[in-house]
Structure 1
């Protein structure tokens, strides 16, 4: 969650620096929000699984891995959105 929070702050700062459009702000806010929401859900799933079983359970591992994979997929999507928004603005500087 800390890494995602730092990256969100960087994206927000870049948004102000590059004066992104309203539509670009909307995209940034949505992907940041989705990553944070999925991170909270991932934490909830992991906590519930740990509460349910202390010994190794293959299904518990699948539940934890799947929740973590959801966060990873959304993080990848957010990077793609960030590249689409910021790459042209950064390249315009050169």
Structure 2
């Protein structure tokens, strides 16, 4: 596999995880955070879940359709449900 940039937003990628055969990363910078489903062969963004403004997430683990992320500066753990599943 060739190295690639996982996140086209230019934000810092803070973690990656595999779930159900899919590669996901989480990015956070300033007041913007997103979770990204990535094609592991090409680096193409297949799905993007944006967090509300001011909600920072870092770190990433998942079970089923729920992602568990660090809560950025809050010190909380956030549970993010993947929509439409």
- Please give the TM-score of this superposition, normalised by the length of structure 2: 0.22
When you count helix as a share of all residues, which structure comes out higher?
A: 1
When you count strand as a share of all residues, which structure comes out higher?
A: 2
Higher normalized contact order (CA 8 Å, seq sep 6+, divided by chain length): 1
User: Highest CA radius of gyration, 1 or 2?
Assistant: 1
